[in-house]
Structure 1
Amino acid sequence: MIAEKIFEMGIDAEEFAQRCDLPLDTIRQLLKAEIPLTKEIADRIETVTWMKAEGLTQLETRYRSDLAFLQQHPDFPVVR
Structure 2
Amino acid sequence: MIDPGLTTTAFLTGTQFASENVATAHHAVVYAVPSGGAAVVREQDAKTRGLGWQCFGGTGTAGVEVEGGRGVGGHLGAPGNDEGSI
Determine if the TM-score, normalized by the shorter chain, exceeds 0.5.
no
Task: State the structure with bigger RCO (CA 8 A, min sep 6), 1 or 2.
Answer: 2
TM-score (norm 1): 0.30
TM-score (norm 2): 0.29
